[in-house]
Structure 1
């Protein structure tokens, strides 16, 4: 209960500071919405492609937290400029946030393409080019083809059969010892 109180107090203080420096604007709301859509389409993609990987999912969450840290840095610099008597008119914060909105939009588009939704050829080709380094090497992780052939239910049945067989062997060993 004490931890919850500390977290609640921290959230209250941070919310008040954000209110005072007027950091929350429409662009950040759009960014949060796009991040939510990216997570949802990413989960859908992993389900459709049968490539569920918690490590990739966790690293995506860490990156999204890093995005907010960078936006916080831009807001702090903008606040510093305002304190010096200049009016940046929110352009720095808007620029950083807009960059990440575009980034999330591309990620949503990639997820939708991998799910199998029809993507215009121009966008599909652009996405394909983005995933190659200048030497033409593919940067995206490819799923091993053997994983497509593995049926999870069959694997579980085989595992149960092996466990049953091991139990029988142990029982026979005990009988032979006596």
Structure 2
């Protein structure tokens, strides 16, 4: 298992592209759910878009600080990873509202990780994510 300091994106442009793609999926799934429930509201969409832009600004600020101060790349990777994790949790919630069954261990692990990140409990986040990956590996082995 890699440590957080060894974590890196396959290509540098993925630091921005991956969060943008997850944000776009979140916007689309959120809009579809609101449309399905006949609760499309421009103020909620506007507020959501402002929040998404704020997330991207955090990554941009991390990039600037990384280059300007010569800080390690894993700092901006951590910021981007946090944004991606938040968006994945939101995407899974939206997809579940669409009626797609999500395995309980996945939604539980992601929800718990999101709560732990919000409370800055990174050791618990790492433990929970490691546990989720172990479960995924175990399920893959069972398939073989």
TM-score, normalised to structure 1's length?
Answer: 0.51
Distance 2:61 2:91 in 1: 25
Counterparts in 2 of 1:1-178, with a 5 A limit?
Answer: 25-82=13-70, 88=72, 90-125=73-108
CA 1:96–1:125: 2 relative to 1, 3 Å: closer
Distance 1:106 1:53 in 2: 22
C-alpha contact 1:71 1:97 (8 A) present in aligned 2: yes
How many Å apart are 1:120 and its aligned residue?
1.2
CA 1:79–1:59: 2 relative to 1, 3 Å: same
Distance 2:63 2:69 in 1: 10
C-alpha contact 1:49 1:115 (8 A) present in aligned 2: no
CA 1:45–1:126: 2 relative to 1, 3 Å: farther
C-alpha contact 1:110 1:127 (8 A) present in aligned 2: no
Distance 1:127 1:92 in 2: 21
CA 1:101–1:119: 2 relative to 1, 3 Å: same
How many Å apart are 1:40 and its aligned residue?
0.8
Equivalent residue pairs, number: 103
- Give unpaired runs (5+ residues) of structure 1: 1-23, 132-178
TM-score, normalised to structure 2's length?
Answer: 0.63
How many Å apart are 1:50 and its aligned residue?
2.1
Distance 1:57 1:106 in 2: 18
Match of 1:173 in 2: none
Larger radius of gyration: 1
- Give unpaired runs (5+ residues) of structure 2: 1-11, 116-144
How many Å apart are 1:96 and its aligned residue?
0.4
